[in-house]
Amino acid sequence: MLDVIIIGAGVSGSFIARKLSRYNLKVALLERENDVGNVTSNANSAIIHSGYDPVPGTLKAKLNVRGNAMFDDIARELDVHFKRVGSLTVAINDEQMNMLHDLEIRSKENGVPVSILSRDEVLKMEPHISKEVKGALLAPTAGVIDPFNLVVHCVENAVDNGVKLYLDEEVVDIKDNGDYFTVITNKNEYQSKVVINAAGLYSDKIASMIEDIDWKLIPRKGEYFVLDHYDLGLVNHTIFPLPTAKGKGVLVSMTSSNNYIVGPSSEPIDDVEDFSTDSLTLSEIRRQATDLVPDIPFNQVIRVFSGIRPTSTRHDFIIEPSKTNNRFINVAGIESPGLVSSPAIAEYVVENYISKLFNLEEKKDYNPCVKKYHVLNDMDVESRNKVIEQDPEFGKIICSCEKISLGEIKELLTRSVPPKTVKGVKRRCRAGFGKCQGGFCSPMVTLILAKHYGVSPLDIKWDKDQSNILVEEVKKL
């Protein structure tokens, strides 16, 4: 019998698992995908929002601001790239300047430090921004983060502290037995005293296995451009337009890896598996983005992608127990600002619900930190040479675009949440994230994975089922 089952290893479920790993509880984390953080947490703007935008008094506002304050410690403990670059929300006419003053009032209600900048102040800070700018709202606490390793390292830390992770396990039914639940997956059955539903785009489906619900999720797709490592200084902050009912709008931002990201769109869709992009939507993103930053070098685009976020009909996060059994807790509708709110969501769930169901005793050997990774691109030449002297495989470059070594990839495979796919390697160390998008390094990564797991290269997948890199052997190696 488990104490807690968490359904969904996206960013919310991952932080809940990590928070619970601090205590003497038997916890399992179930994920339908073959890797953690592989859906909504895998495809987003990677922004740590300041919290000026959510409606005051909502869970979004409260947990955004609390989560933002936690990220300096989180990035250090989980060894994740994070930069507090600040954000500028830009006005390009007098009417929008009035809206900026309204946002300033909302920011103060939410407890977010902001200031309104004049046209000259904005142009001094951001020389590439539209010359039509009238002013901007500066939110200095906003940041950018590596969202892939945020989730991976969070789950790794939870697993290292005793949480059991089960991948490729889709929950197909849940039976409420009163004082415990039977959770049935496509592979196994589990009994648990408490179930936390953090199933992202599927959380309404999971909630409906327990009872009729008075809310639903509307999948909303956002499409993006990713630019190569273009010269630093195109923008120095995350640049937002004024927010609308659809969301925060098309942003232009650097990333934690010194690429640039442009997007997203925001359109409701019916199919939660539709991750396609289309030229008309991308053209509209481009038009809106160049209204903010006219000289974006779209000839430097190396990738387009889309992500889907679960917008709830309540227009707020849904974090509450079932009406029929307080041992079943829904964590649903976690759209933007869900990424920044995730550690605060975990804290909220544990303090408001789990602590009332268990006598929580902290583990004496709990460790909040992951073992640091060797990232050669973060090292000076002397430190890099020392690592290579100790292990020459760190001197063998596999990904020329991102300068990722064999040693770094092999190190991933020794961790408690290792990659099993080419995409899994890419998300963890950036091999394949460069200009050629894996055109040169993917074959080598495929062979490295095959050798490590003792399987044929034909069995190695890019990502999900039916995504094999190779289909037949034409010549013996």
Q: Which residues are catalytic?
A: 49
E-state strands within 154-282: 164-166, 171-176, 181-185, 189-197, 217-227, 238-240, 251-254, 260-263, 267-268
d(CA 240, CA 250): 7
d(CA 188, CA 182): 10
Residue 181, helix vs strand vs coil: strand
Length of the chain: 477
- The secondary structure of residue 24, as a DSSP letter, is S
